[in-house]
Structure 1
């Protein structure tokens, strides 16, 4: 299997050179737009491309308001702040996620509760959330509290793992029942849709990332998707130092963040958005080729849930056992084909080792069996 897969990937990308996991692709107006910002001298947080980029995301996702930020972690931090998550609050999320999800909680002073992910999506499992709440939570005066510690449970953050949308209808029902705010970590899922709605637009807020390895990149950057226009206008105000507009006076009417995306980065994003449909088409084609390759094996390729249209940001395969996973990781990387295991579960990291957890059986299985495969959306066939 190992040699055949390596040969398949090299044939896919038509190269004997090193093959990265996910490289940025610049084949449109990136150079022209970035050069325009340099010529204009508006390379920082003031310039037309920031507004243009936000408008492109609004149009594409059909959200009420989109607010550009310096990175995805800042976007998620802002969403938590705007959701009134306070120091000492608890937030339910998944242990199977990238550390940025939990870093945002740490920065705002909240603590995570880790529950299991679903085999359907590899994202937060609604049943696991409901079971944890039934066993450990109580509602008092329309707020949810942890029965043992007395801390307020304020929000739920599912992460759309590798771009595969979670079971959002079910999570919305759980959140409504328990008076919790739903915030979507949509960092990896630009171009993914849940029952026709773009990820990040169903919860009160969504957070998108434009890191260099994402399907659309601004080098570094993020976006807060706001379901409510009023929330969106306040989010924009808060992320731009809460400065009240004035021709020359500096007056800030509340504490704010300097989370503004520079115009230079937004210019790159505008050009990338023009290529997004082509990127998505290529990535779906790559996923289909991987799925066909693994079809008659005991390796399980991760496909989109039946209710969703995924962007297939990072392709993934679940190996039959830990030994085969480790052998594939070693062989492929020694051969110049980058593969990666999934992240260490968050409760195994020093910063979150004392966090409360539900049963994490399926998360632990995925952690020890899953491998990510090269997924750059440019192939020469």
Structure 2
């Protein structure tokens, strides 16, 4: 069976060469815009393309304000800072995520708490979140308190796994009930919509990533999506060293960050955004081909939730058992077709081994059974 999977993927991508998991596609104005930036000499944080990139993100996502940053991790860090997370706080997230989600929580001086993911979205499960809080927290006049430690639980950070939106309204209901701030890790979900609204715009803040393996890339880069314009103005101020505008004086009114996206990266991003609708169409077409192929096999293809429209950033299958998963990973990679398992769960990493957590049975199931498939939007898969 695994040999036929390799054959099918090669037929899809029409190549006998190496097939990466997700490679960037440059077929538009990338060279022109980047060259223009170089010729202007404004390659760093001051330049027209940064402003244009932020405007285009706002137009596409309908966020009140988008603030471009140097990467997705810095965007999430800024979001947590703006949400009021501080040293000694606790932040609930999912164990099945990329390590950057938890690294940022630690960078804030806070501690992560892990809850399980949903079989529908592969992202944070609202029921698992509520059940954890009912047994491990209490609501006081000053906020949500962790019973075992007495520390404040300040925020909840779900991640839209592989671009599939979590059930945001259900999570928001739990957050409202427990007086918690909802912050979306939307690093993988540019172009994904929850009940018609773009991911990253329903929580107080959302963090996007434009790393080289994302659906569009700025080389490195990210953005903070803000629900309120005033918060966006503050995010822009914080990410530019809190410098007070002046023709020549250098005055900074608070300790802040150098998280500004360089103009040369934003130029690349503007060209990529012009092609985003085509990338999304191609990726959905590729996902449909994968689904048709795997429907009559022992593998279960991961489909978008019924309440959402996913960008299908990374396609995935759930294998019937661990042995088949291992065989699929080995046979594909041996044949030059890049596949990969899901991330090791965060509580298995040494720096998060002592973090509090709820029951994680489905996260552990996915860790042992899921395989990601090549997902580059290189062409229309007719």
* TM-score class normalised by the smaller sequence: over 0.9
Match of 1:70?
70
Where 2:113 maps in the other structure, the secondary structure is strand
List aligned pairs for 1:77-116, cutoff 5 A.
77-116=77-116
CA contact (8 A) 1:20 1:338 kept: yes
Match of 1:259?
259
- Cα drift, residue 379 of structure 1: 3.1
List aligned pairs for 1:1-381, cutoff 5 A.
1-379=1-379, 381=382
- Cα drift, residue 139 of structure 1: 1.2
Looking at structure 1, the residues matched to 87 and 72 of structure 2 have their Cα atoms a distance apart, in angstroms, of: 21
Looking at structure 1, the residues matched to 227 and 335 of structure 2 have their Cα atoms a distance apart, in angstroms, of: 46
How does the TM-score come out when normalised to structure 1? 0.99
- CA displacement, residues 56-101 of structure 1 (integer Å, 9 cap, x when unaligned): 0000000000000000000000000000100110000000000010
CA contact (8 A) 1:12 1:379 kept: no
How does the TM-score come out when normalised to structure 2? 0.99
- CA displacement, residues 204-249 of structure 1 (integer Å, 9 cap, x when unaligned): 0000000000001000000000000000000100010000000000
Looking at structure 1, the residues matched to 277 and 311 of structure 2 have their Cα atoms a distance apart, in angstroms, of: 10
CA contact (8 A) 1:14 1:379 kept: no
Where 1:357 maps in the other structure, the secondary structure is coil
- CA displacement, residues 5-32 of structure 1 (integer Å, 9 cap, x when unaligned): 1011000010000000000000000000
Looking at structure 1, the residues matched to 104 and 25 of structure 2 have their Cα atoms a distance apart, in angstroms, of: 28
The alignment of Structure 1 onto Structure 2 pairs a total of residues equal to 381
- Cα drift, residue 142 of structure 1: 4.3
Where 1:356 maps in the other structure, the secondary structure is coil
Where 1:327 maps in the other structure, the secondary structure is helix
- Cα drift, residue 3 of structure 1: 1.0
CA contact (8 A) 1:142 1:179 kept: no
**Structure 1, unpaired ranges of 5+:** none
Where 2:275 maps in the other structure, the secondary structure is helix
CA contact (8 A) 1:89 1:111 kept: yes
Greater CA drift, 103-112 or 336-345: 103-112
CA contact (8 A) 1:163 1:314 kept: yes
Looking at structure 1, the residues matched to 379 and 220 of structure 2 have their Cα atoms a distance apart, in angstroms, of: 24
Where 1:173 maps in the other structure, the secondary structure is helix
Give me the CA root mean square deviation: 0.6
CA contact (8 A) 1:144 1:178 kept: yes
CA contact (8 A) 1:45 1:263 kept: yes
Looking at structure 2, the residues matched to 127 and 310 of structure 1 have their Cα atoms a distance apart, in angstroms, of: 22
- CA displacement, residues 81-123 of structure 1 (integer Å, 9 cap, x when unaligned): 0001001100000000000100111111111000000001000
Looking at structure 1, the residues matched to 20 and 163 of structure 2 have their Cα atoms a distance apart, in angstroms, of: 19
- Cα drift, residue 375 of structure 1: 0.2
**Structure 2, unpaired ranges of 5+:** none
